[in-house]
Amino acid sequence: MTWTQYLAPLLKGAQVTVTISLASIAIGAILAFAAGIARISSNRILSGIAFAYVALFRGTPLLVQLFWFYYALPLIGISFDPVTTGIVTLALLTGAFGAEVVRGALVAVPLAQHEAARALNFSRTYTLWHISMPQAIIEMMPPFGNLAVQNLKDTALVSLISIADLTFQAQSLRNITLDSATIYTMTLLGYFIIALFLMFVLRFVEMKLRRGPAFPRSAHS
Amino acid sequence: MTSIIRFQNVTKRFGALTVLDDFNFDVRPGEKVTLIGPSGSGKSTVLRILMTLEPFQEGHLELAGISYHEPNGRGAFKASEKHLHKIRCNVGMVFQSFNLFPHMTVLRNIVEAPVAVLKMKRAEVESRAIDLLRMVGLLDKKDHYPSQLSGGQQQRVAIARALAMRPRVLLFDEPTSALDPQLVGEVLGVIRALASEHDLTMLLVTHEMRFAREVSDRVCFFDKGRIVEQGDPDRFFGNPEQPRTREFLSSILND
């Protein structure tokens, strides 16, 4: 087999990788905002739940989380197909790290802004969404970019719960052909191209947010 | 006439440090009062307590007939968020560092609160905001962002923003201290114009002594959490009675 013959199965795998990555990034982003905001809430129960979630998923290896959701959870009667399991687990992990990014950026909004909002009698909810969040979200973008790329690379582990992603397809091809050098080089390139695309998209969003007279500083390079 | 602001035996502590000590202070409606004194003497704390930015531990405080502590109030403020909201309806504040919202245009900085908090119609608020911007001389900057304005311009917008909420009491916390010397005049000019508004009660913390003498009905000198001396500005500056006041005035007027 020549390298052109590897393309079709690898592209099929790449498609699965991209699907899992994009889906888990999207769900992870929602989780990140929910948990990050809950962490700074004055409601002790909410912030406690968010703290436990973040600590648990940041403090355990992804591979073990995947095995737990795939092999252990069905034992108590809850089971999903492999792709759903992969997406959910990755989303929970990305959400946990993202929650710290959201919390950190919100906490970094100067106290003076909160005092001005209070002096104008804005409610706490209004202050969060209309005063703090628009200023904080720009600061979240660079770390979010890191998390997105990290998420993409972490998807390689889902091949171990029998999902036919890019890594899985590479392994299968190698087992048949034993052409390790070509196959793994192509696989690396595949991940790298997807990562470049992700970085580009996030940089674009950041530039969009930062541009304009309100935040004239250019994006960090 | 009844007071619009009444501090009765108010004590405020930051940990072991007592900032206001058994503090008593009354302000008549429409009165313009300047608070002066060395840093750490408690004058800014008086404003921050009135704005509900700081709680106090003991004593009684009323603004426009509303008590700050609720009978069964909980938390540091001994009042619910709803009650604090009610208090804040009567009072506004201008900060030393302006504190404009950087992501909003000048116009939106002014319009946002009356629309979101007072539920006024946007068109109505905008036309009033334009009047206010004309008053502070910044109508041509209405679509600019704060980062495009000088400090003096930002502070004038901040004054317009506070006025748009139609407060009965307006607090100025060292409004010119963060400004370059050549920008101080334009801000003082706006405050001077406001001082002629009969109904607006103004409390002003400042180090601009000449200005204090010119605009205020009463000057209060703070030291160690109490008012050491107060009175009519001409009498106060012309013939201070307390040695501590004389010492402070000579130190500040000689530098």
Assess A115–B contact: CB distance below 8 Å, yes or no: yes
CB A31 within 8 A of CB A95: yes
Residue A213 has pLDDT above 70, yes or no: no
Both tokens of B6, joined, read: 């009444």
Q: How far is A127 from chain B (nearest CA, A)?
A: 11
Structural domains in chain A, CATH included, are 18-163 (1.10.3720.10)
Determine the pLDDT at residue A209: 85
What pLDDT band is residue A218 in, cutting at 50, 70 and 90?
Answer: very low
Determine the pLDDT at residue A219: 39
- β-pairing, B58-63 vs B226-231, is unpaired
Inter-chain touch B101–A118, beta carbons under 8 Å: no
Of A124, A126, A212, Cβ closest to residue B116? A126
Inter-chain touch A118–B89, beta carbons under 8 Å: no
Paired residues of B36 in beta bridges: B221
Paired residues of B20 in beta bridges: B12
Determine the pLDDT at residue A212: 65
Closest to B3 in 3D by CA, of B25, B23, B32: B25
Of B81, B93, B148, Cβ closest to residue A119? B93
* Residues of chain A with C-beta less than 8 angstroms from the C-beta of B97: 112
CB B103 within 8 A of CB A134: yes
| Model confidence, pTM | 0.89
The DSSP annotation for chain B comes to ---SEEEEEEEEEETTEEEEEEEEEEE-TT-EEEEE-STTSSHHHHHHHHTTSS--SEEEEEETTEESS-TT--TTTTS-HHHHHHHHTTEEEE-TT----TTS-HHHHHHHHHHHTS---HHHHHHHHHHHHHHTT-GGGTTS-GGGS-HHHHHHHHHHHHHTT--SEEEEESTTTTS-HHHHHHHHHHHHHHHT-SS-EEEEE-S-HHHHHHH-SEEEEEETTEEEEEE-HHHHHHS--SHHHHHHHHHHHT-
| Domain limits, chain B | 100-166
Summarised one tens digit per residue, pLDDT across range A11-68 is 999 999 999 999 999 999 999 999 999 999 989 999 999 999 999 999 999 999 999 9
Closest to B60 in 3D by CA, of B3, B108, B98, B105: B3
Buried b (16+ CB within 10 A) or exposed e, B30-40: ebbbbbbbbee
Mean pLDDT of chain A: 93
Summarised one tens digit per residue, pLDDT across range B84-139 is 999 999 999 999 999 999 999 999 999 999 999 999 999 999 999 999 999 999 99
